[in-house]
Structure 1
Amino acid sequence: MRLDPFYLIVDGADWIERLVPLGVRLVQLRIKGRDEAYLRAEIRRARETCARHGCRLVVNDHWRLAIEEGCEAVHLGQEDLAAADRAAIRRAGLRLGLSSHDPRELEAALAAGPDYVALGPIYPTVLKRMTWAPQGLDRLADWKRRVAPLPLVAIGGLTPERLSGVFEAGADCAAVVTDVLRHPDPEARTRDWLAATTVWR
């Protein structure tokens, strides 16, 4: 599975409708704590927008809905992986991305046969409280040696200014949440990211 180097993560279809038309090619819809009807409607809107603009949509956690709504890919955390029906995901033809934060989680992720593995947080992040300290570039390089030839996604505290170090350490893709969504001008920041990742396309 080849990933675009810029992986935008958003919490609603409104963001996808705003930002994907700017040229985003890979986006994850990550919505927590909503009922199924809401989730289904958001996934459907997101899928339709992505289809119009040639963007790959990854649904976080909600693999059953992703299958039912004809999506292409799903991303699972470690707890979600334990509860997921991986056989059903594969039968539906969905690509599978998995999170990892420590060697035990990496082992579990690789045993599940993912299409890519994510490591984070690389740098301090304000998105959520983390059990894990920032991983840093040395850990990123070590993870790349362990997961190759699978793509490795870096996440956590990333900015365009930090991209060179992240990609030189072995990341294939930079996942971004707060640097875009909490920016005063998310559209302009998205364009910054698209420009900054062009060299790695």
Structure 2
Amino acid sequence: MDRFYLITPTADLIERLVPRGVRLVQLRAKDMPAADLRAHALRAQAICRQHGAQLILNDYWQLALDLGLEFIHLGQEDMDSADFAALARAGIRFGLSTHDEAERERALSHDPAYIALGPVYPTLLKQMPWAPQGLERLTAWKAAIGTRPLVAIGGLTPERLPGVFAAGADSAAVVTDIVTAKDPEARCDLWLRATR
């Protein structure tokens, strides 16, 4: 699993940043009309195929089945309605979000391709009912999930990466630090250098 995991709300940034060397990217579109979402997913799929990057679609597992995508990410609420049998039949891999031990055990019961833990640090992305997890929690999670990849998310910056990887994370998922940057390309390049 690539150490740099870009998460973006539109295909626009995927088209701008994947050609720079991003190898793992999630399209995380929220509150987008279905037709627009499909268009963004198709654009993201095309650019990722062109550049050999892995596209992960957030939440919309039915659309992933429809478009023949290979990978999705599901939050705990999304797991309630996801048809895991259909995903398995289609060969679609998935990563799952976790925030506490009960969620982690539930996620592991579905045999995901990776487990995500967050927010590691305070995050501006959305209001979270959980306090920042911290680095010690990352270490505990890695011990609990074994060889399965662990994705750290929430409040990550290039400066925090050494501690995050030393604590046991295999990949750093980045949203706000790039999406809100004045120059997303330059910020992306910095992340790429820091994770290679």
* Structure 1 CA distance for aligned equivalents of residues 169 and 153 of structure 2: 10
Moved over 4 A (4+): none
* Structure 1 CA distance for aligned equivalents of residues 72 and 125 of structure 2: 20
* Structure 2 CA distance for aligned equivalents of residues 112 and 123 of structure 1: 27
Q: So what's the TM-score if we normalise by structure 1?
A: 0.96
Q: So what's the TM-score if we normalise by structure 2?
A: 0.99
Backbone CA RMSD of aligned residues: 0.6
| Secondary structure in structure 2 of the residue aligned to 1:130 | coil
| Secondary structure in structure 2 of the residue aligned to 1:34 | coil
2:86 match? 88
1:28 match? 26
* Structure 1 CA distance for aligned equivalents of residues 39 and 90 of structure 2: 20
Equivalenced residues, count: 196
1:186 match? 184
How far did residue 39 of structure 1 move?
1.2
Give matches, 1:99-178, under 5 Å: 99-178=97-176
Q: Sequence identity, in percent? A: 61
How far did residue 68 of structure 1 move?
1.0
CA-to-aligned-CA distance 1:43-93 (integer Å, 9 cap, x gap): 111000000011000000001111111111000000001110001111111
| Secondary structure in structure 1 of the residue aligned to 2:95 | strand
How far did residue 35 of structure 1 move?
2.3
Unaligned runs of 5+ in 1: none
Unaligned runs of 5+ in 2: none
| Secondary structure in structure 2 of the residue aligned to 1:129 | coil
Query: Which among 46, 50, 54 is matched to residue 56 of structure 1?
Result: 54
* Structure 1 CA distance for aligned equivalents of residues 35 and 124 of structure 2: 29
Specify the code of the residue in structure 2 equivalent to 1:33: D
* Structure 2 CA distance for aligned equivalents of residues 21 and 112 of structure 1: 33
